[in-house]
Amino acid sequence: MSGKTTPMMEQYHALKQQAEGCLLFYRMGDFFELFFDDAKQAASILDIALTARGKDSGDPVPMCGVPVHAAEGYLARLIKAGCRVAIAEQVETPEQAKQRAKREGTPSSKALVKRDIVRFVTAGTLTEEALLEPRRANMLAAVCEVRGSIGIASCDISTGRMVLESCDPGNLHAALARVGASEIITPDDWAGRLEDTISRPKSDFGSDDGERRLKTLHEVKTLDGFGDFDRAMLAAAGGLISYLEHVGRGDLPLLLPPRVRAGESQLSMDEATRASLEILTSQQGGRQGSLIAAIDRCVTGAGARQLADDLSAPLCDMAAISGRLALVHYLHQDPLLRADLRDVLRLLPDIGRALGRVVAGRGSPRDLGQIRDGLAEARRVRDFLSHKPDRPVLLESLLPLMGGHGALVDLMQRALVAAPPTERQNGGFIAEGYDASLDELRQVSGNARRAIAALEARYRDDTGIASLKIKHNGVLGYFIEVPARHADTLMAPDSGFTHRQTMKGAVRFNSLSLHEEAGRISEAGGHALAAEEEHFEMLAAQVVAARQEIAATADALSRIDVSAGQAERAAEGDWCRPQISEDTVLAIVGGRHPVVEAALAQAGDRFVANDCTLVPEDRLWLIGGPNMGGKSTFLRQNALIVLLAQAGGYVPAESAQIGLVDRLFSRVGASDNLARGRSTFMVEMVETAAILSQATDRSFVILDEVGRGTSTYDGLALAWAVVEAVHENNRCRCLFATHYHELSRLADRCDALSLHHVRAREWKGDLVLLHELANGPADRSYGLAVARLAGISKQVVARAKSVLDKLEKGRAKTGGLAAGLGDLPLFAAVQADDDEPGDPVREKLSELDIDALSPREALEILYEIKRAAEST
């Protein structure tokens, strides 16, 4: 390159402006090249060589590149690193560029191939098999606000599933935590309201425009058949569809008719509760150690994604829960049926994602083959289950969805080879016998290839050069190659050969006969490829036309896989079918923590089961005992049992009676959130405040060590007040673990509160943790014994023991930390006095910064306080 900006760099800069901050993959032959800062960033992430290509405006141009055939792997790493990528493809061939240059009067030697951005690759818009996790949905969400209501539109474009919902602004974070989107789109006037979002023009989020787009997309005159959508939902849908059109450069992916997510029909959980219970990811951020990792026995990726959705949004509808449980029970009771069914399900390809790629225009012959094979297997599943007696209602509703594709399956079985390739540009995916004219073209091409082989043999005989070969490449086409030492024989004017290229150690030639045979191969091969491409487009169009029915089949199969997997997990762990009722009761016998139990089993240890019985007259348990004794595990296991039951699965217990829970809250452990300026204690208080303001009498709450993050007096006071508030105001089912022994006094004043503790014993100076729950208060905390277990030195533990003895003697003399608390009125009584006027003198004193006062100011304030006191 020269010191000036070349036409190619001018083209690059123009495309880079359109890339909107994305890395630009600039297609040059068999490579995607990156330049300037894009190259530096990509080279660092991908660990590839950073080079330079000439100069632009006098400066060296940093450059790196990735092969087109391997681009998906590099894209995956860039997307995982948080990048967005714009793909600039060559939209004409070099020959077309030369013809265009000729028409424009430009020298063909200076013809620059046209390029254009054909797609943006972002975290939420992936469809490629290599870029997606098979067992995890990839959600994209759009969020906006209309008249005080938040609209959320979410979809997984790899399967087309789309859900619309609305919520109050205060519930936005909880809703987004449930969706778990890889990418969130917001209007540009929302800057700063949510972290790590993609801003789009506010005009994209119009409710009227959203309604119009949905009607056009699904070719309907009204959306009433899909659900009751409010204006906020429609506005969010408009923003989502507009963004998908943008990243697809006008082409939309698979989007199925939207469904409404009704908040009251699902168990509500806030962001903190989801993180605390480690439902889909552990505290370390991976799947290992999470609830889903411990219970997932699905044999298909689609089933695993459906299970994750079930656990993210458990139900509050009795009929829906009972329907799922009945299907799990049906398969649990028949092990042979379950085993045979799971063997059939294992053969299923991922129909939903293959369909998504075909509809998005990114499908391959292999995707068509997967849809063909998947639909054929779906018919087998339907026929297999249709002959079984006493089928549950949910199964009866699923069976019809797995048939009805006979004509399409038969067509693709005749049209496609048994194992179609992943690439379509080289052909070879249409079965022999499907198209007679295509077979003839292939025969001509095959005969020509045989003729070339015969020609090679004849040339060897004629020239006496045994090492003569006829080869082919993408530049020269077919050519004759001989070692350099034999080149003179073919160079003779009367040899019948024409020199083409001299290589190191070899010389290449052409001949009239070879040219004629190569022409026949090229012509027949070109016509054959064009014919196969036409067949592909026809088959893809048939699939697109049946996309809703195919997607329904995929959903039905995933539901059956989830049910069979739940039944398998229940059989493995001796889990029980929960009894769901409308009562506010939680009665669990022999409950276990599914994740902890699985981890202990791997280590050869046994999990100690415990009962939990919360009823209206005993709905709040205060649980004491030592650290590491199992309090947090007990709290979490009961929350997880509720979640599993309302997701429609069996639970790890001997028996479980569960009154429907509307909201589930977990405040067990906390950490700093420095990004929001919150300490550990502040996080704890924010989460506790959410519980006290939102929990209803149908909620289930687990609270662990409230108040431990501040001073002893403050912490005890807060814990005391929180227990009273839960008991008197929220009146919900609650497990409250604490080290504050003083709280046991509340049992005398709160009629629905009972005392419990996790058992421990000291034996010959060692602490033995029994992990059993017992009635009554804990006798002590065993804190020094736990410290000794943790490796604190004997000297430090001995010193702590002497300090503790003195503290306890002092407390005995003063009546302890809780002295006088028993005389306080209950929380409800205190709350009733909140509106009474306060003491003005005390209020004035509390506002003073004494250290900042001058003597004169202090004297003036003292006179002012005296006057105020005399006037009251």
Amino acid at 788: R
Query: What dihedral angle (degrees, nearest 10) is formed by the CA atoms of 19, 24, 27, 31?
Result: -170
CA 365 to chain CA centroid, nearest Å: 27
Helix (H) or strand (E) holding 121: strand 115-121
The radius of gyration computed from the CA coordinates of the chain, to the nearest angstrom, equals: 36
Distances (CA, A) of 344 to 53, 305, 380, 587, 771: 55, 19, 8, 38, 42
Q: Which long-range contacts (CB under 8 A, 24 or more apart) does 761-770 make?
A: 767/626, 769/626, 769/628, 769/629, 769/630, 770/608, 770/629
Record the tokens describing residue 592, joined without a space. Answer: 């276990």
CB 53 within 8 A of CB 8: no
CB neighbours of 280 closer than 8 A, spacing ≥ 6? 180, 274, 287, 290, 291, 292, 308, 311, 312
Per the annotation, does 627 bind a ligand? yes
CB 486 within 8 A of CB 407: no
d(CA 767, CA 765): 7
E-strand spans in 382-533?
469-473, 477-483, 497-503, 506-511
331-364 burial string, b = 16+ CB within 10 Å, else e? bbeeeebbeebbebbeebbbbbbbbbbbbbeebb
Per the annotation, does 632 bind a ligand? yes
Per the annotation, does 629 bind a ligand? yes
Pairing status of strand 198-200 against strand 477-483: unpaired
Distances (CA, A) of 829 to 504, 824, 838: 99, 9, 16
d(CA 463, CA 289): 72
Helix (H) or strand (E) holding 371: helix 365-386
**Strand order through the sheet with 115-121:** 51-56, 59-67, 31-35, 23-28, 85-90, 115-121
Per the annotation, does 631 bind a ligand? yes
As a residue count, the chain comes to 872
Per the annotation, does 526 bind a ligand? no
Per the annotation, does 285 bind a ligand? no
CB 567 within 8 A of CB 328: yes
Binding-site residue ranges: 625-632
Binding-site residue ranges for ATP: 625-632
